[in-house]
């Protein structure tokens, strides 16, 4: 009767098992059904679980498990090392999910209890948990643990889950991957758009920053005054050299001076949708804001000053009714502005804000406007019809140049700076005292003091083509659009570009191109 009661008690308590996580028996289960069982380890590291009174020799037993309440207690036998949850033990009451490692090299098993007496299907969470616990408890090298954990997980997933579950997981992973992929692409596009917009405005900001760096400062006047004597001496030596070489050149320069025009302008950008100009972004106090690079920030909103790009150039009178010849890149300077294309893509358009001209011996400026720009060469025609009276103009040559011919280039290289260098110490001191170096005001003061005068340089023609004339007369930026004269004072080319890396060689557009452009507007 007592034996029957014991058997009934055994069947009513929880069923236990050892799940083999490593070794040759991995993914199998050993059930623990007796009151006590012995555990031995074969030469190939296979676990054997037998009754204590079996034929197994006692000295080969490495552990014994016996019932203790609803679970089992494990004891190490024959001084064989036993590890529970990564810690060495001699005996321990086993708990749900304990990790048992038999010996220093395994195998590793998980202890489980089941109330219904049958094994429950392992979930995906169990598989992940087994891998994590194995990585945490195993005493193998880290790389080996991680490698085994990943390998075991994917093997369990492939063989211990249903086909429907595997397909569902794979579909979920694919959907997640596609979602992440398209989200990443969307983020990249947004990032590119943001960076593009920022770079586009930064390009214009850099242009304006360079303009501001080129603007006149009080320190520049100090430098000009210090170098004035030297500059005037050099200019006098050059003039003396010209006189010695050719008295005719002096006459040509004197006669042509009154027809060589100093151009001064500014342009900005207008939003085509709202009609508002691009302005400096300002704070509540009205102070302009700058990026971390020190470049100004812009907006089409607010009341900040309009962002304008200032420029200078040269032109010359070609008819008594006020027609001027210059370069296309002077009349439409935004075409050389690297920020234009990017700003146009944002819905902006370049707009001339102010465009005026000065003539020697006329003490006020007069507005100019574009009449015609050539699509074939770097030429344009401007009109200054507000000038009172007939203007002296330069005649266009009918003769062909030859390599070796002498030419005279006239213009306003470096803009205001070259004229300030010729004013004298008294004028510079007056500017310093007033501390007014504003772009437009300085030009007006130069004009009223009769300091608007072109510079002239002499050179030799080196090469001729139908499209260009190459000569070595000195000039630089600001001199673009000026006349290139022969020794008789007739225009043979229009100065257009410099090539400093070729010893100061310069390009001019042959006068035949200017004649064709004038004929298109009935001015020839």
Percent of the chain at pLDDT > 90 equals 30
| pLDDT, tens only, 447-485 | 999 999 999 988 899 889 988 999 988 777 778 899 999
Looking at every residue in the chain, the average pLDDT score rounds to: 81
DSSP state letter for 297:
P
Residue scoring higher pLDDT (467 or 27): 467
Residue 408, classed as helix, strand or coil, is: strand
Residue scoring higher pLDDT (394 or 439): 394
Burial environment of residue 20 by CB neighbours within 10 A (0 to 12, 13 to 18, 19 or more): buried
Residue 479 pLDDT: 84
Cα 403 to chain centroid, rounded: 47
* Dihedral angle of Cα 452, 455, 456, 457, to the nearest 10 degrees: -170
Q: In angstroms, rounded to a whole number, what is the distance separating the alpha carbons of residues 80 and 19?
A: 21
What separation in angstroms does the CA of 152 have from each of 138, 160, 507? 14, 11, 77
Q: In angstroms, rounded to a whole number, what is the distance separating the alpha carbons of residues 419 and 417?
A: 5
Residue 197 pLDDT: 57
| pLDDT, tens only, 192-221 | 665 565 555 666 666 666 566 556 666 666
Topology of domain 2-120 in CATH is Tumour Suppressor Smad4 (2.60.200)
| pLDDT, tens only, 317-343 | 998 888 999 999 999 999 887 778 888
| pLDDT, tens only, 239-271 | 565 555 556 778 899 999 999 999 999 999 999
Cα angle 360, 364, 367; round to 5: 100
Residue scoring higher pLDDT (57 or 391): 391
3-state percent breakdown (helix, strand, coil) of the chain, nearest 5: 35, 30, 35
DSSP state letter for 295:
P
| pLDDT, tens only, 336-365 | 877 788 888 888 999 999 999 999 988 889
Pick from 257-261, 345-349, 428-432, 512-516: least confident:
428-432
Show the tokens assigned to 192: 């590119």
Residue 9 pLDDT: 41
Show the tokens assigned to 371: 């009449």
Contacts of 39 (CB under 8 A, 6+ apart): 47, 48, 49, 61, 62, 63, 64, 65, 102
Contacts of 243 (CB under 8 A, 6+ apart): 250
Q: In angstroms, rounded to a whole number, what is the distance separating the alpha carbons of residues 344 and 249?
A: 47
pTM (whole model) above 0.95: no
Using the structure block, give the residue that is written with the tokens 């300085």: 442
């Amino acid at each position: 009767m007592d034996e029957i009661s014991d058997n009934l008690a055994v069947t009513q308590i929880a069923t236990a098992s050892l799940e083999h996580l490593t070794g040759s028996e991995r993914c199998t289960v050993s059930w623990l059904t007796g009151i006590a069982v012995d555990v031995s380890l074969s030469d190939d590291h296979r676990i054997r679980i037998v009754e204590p009174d079996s034929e197994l020799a006692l000295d080969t037993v490495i552990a014994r498990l016996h019932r203790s309440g609803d679970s089992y207690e494990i004891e190490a036998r024959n001084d064989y090392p036993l590890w529970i949850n990564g810690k060495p033990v001699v005996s321990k009451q086993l708990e749900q999910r304990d990790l048992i490692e038999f010996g220093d090299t395994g195998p590793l098993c998980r202890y489980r209890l089941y109330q219904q007496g049958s094994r429950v299907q392992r979930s995906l969470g169990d598989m992940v948990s087994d891998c994590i616990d194995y990585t945490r408890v195993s005493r193998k090298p880290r790389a080996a643990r991680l490698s085994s954990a990943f390998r075991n997980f994917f093997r369990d997933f492939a063989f211990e889950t249903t086909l429907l579950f595997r397909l569902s997981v794979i579909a979920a992973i694919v959907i997640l991957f596609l979602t992440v992929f398209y989200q990443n692409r969307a983020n990249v596009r947004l990032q590119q758009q943001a960076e593009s917009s920022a770079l586009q405005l930064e390009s214009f900001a850099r242009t304006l920053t360079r303009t501001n760096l080129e603007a006149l400062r009080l320190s520049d006047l100090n430098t000009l005054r210090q170098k004035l004597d030297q500059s005037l001496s050099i200019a006098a030596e050059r003039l003396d050299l010209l006189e010695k070489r050719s008295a005719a050149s002096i006459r040509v320069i004197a006669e042509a001076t009154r027809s060589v025009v100093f151009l001064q302008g500014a342009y900005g950008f207008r939003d085509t949708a709202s009609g508002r100009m691009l302005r400096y972004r300002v704070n509540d106090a009205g102070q302009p804001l700058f990026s971390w690079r020190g470049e100004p920030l812009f907006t089409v909103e607010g009341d900040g000053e309009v962002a304008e790009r200032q420029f200078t150039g040269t032109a010359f009178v070609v008819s008594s009714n006020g027609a001027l010849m210059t370069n296309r890149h002077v009349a439409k300077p935004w075409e050389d502005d690297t920020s234009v294309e990017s700003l146009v893509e944002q819905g902006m358009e370049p707009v001339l804000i102010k465009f005026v001209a000065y003539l020697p011996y006329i003490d006020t400026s007069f507005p100019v406007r574009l009449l015609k720009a050539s699509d074939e060469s770097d030429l344009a025609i401007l009109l200054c019809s507000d000038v009172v009276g007939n203007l002296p103009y330069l005649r266009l040559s009918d003769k062909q140049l030859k390599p070796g011919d002498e030419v005279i280039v006239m213009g306003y290289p470096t803009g205001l700076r070259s004229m300030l260098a010729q004013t004298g110490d008294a004028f510079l001191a007056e500017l310093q005292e007033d501390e007014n170096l504003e772009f437009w005001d300085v030009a007006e003061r130069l004009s009223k003091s009769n300091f608007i005068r072109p510079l002239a340089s002499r050179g030799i023609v080196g090469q001729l083509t139908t499209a260009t004339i190459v000569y070595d007369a000195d000039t630089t930026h600001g001199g673009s659009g000026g006349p290139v004269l022969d020794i008789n004072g007739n225009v043979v080319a229009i100065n257009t570009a410099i090539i400093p890396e070729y010893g100061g060689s310069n390009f001019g557009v042959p006068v035949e191109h200017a004649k064709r452009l004038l004929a298109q507007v009935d001015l020839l």
